[in-house]
Amino acid sequence: RHSDAVRAAQQRASLEALARALEARDGYTGRHGEETVEIAVRVAAQLGLEEAEVEEVRTVALLQVLEADGVDVAAQRAAA
């Protein structure tokens, strides 16, 4: 559904903003996170996943990076 796609895009944009804030605080961590997400996306694409699935992999990889950096994503999501 369109609204689900819009919501997913908004959530991903919020997560990316958090990741950029972490990068501003610690460039190494930010670059590492970007590389981690891009590797996950490349693997998903090479596995032949559909675009929506690749984007889901991107989101999950970004969540993992943020949580590894100490961001309580569940609390962020509950506050929204």
Measured on CA atoms in the order 42, 68, 20, 60, is the torsion positive or negative?
Answer: positive
Return d(Cα 2, Cα 69) in angstroms, integer.
Answer: 32
Task: Reply yes or no on whether the pLDDT at 3 is more than 80.
Answer: yes
pLDDT in tens, 12-35: 888 888 777 777 776 666 677 888
32 contact partners, CB below 8 Å, separation of at least 6: 65
CB atoms within 10 A of CB 72: 11
The percentage of residues in the chain with a pLDDT greater than 70, rounded to a whole number, is 78
Cα-Cα-Cα-Cα torsion 48, 11, 61, 53, nearest 10 degrees, comes to: -10
The answer, as to whether pTM is greater than 0.85, is no
- Per DSSP (E only), the strands in the chain are none
Coil vs helix vs strand at 69? coil
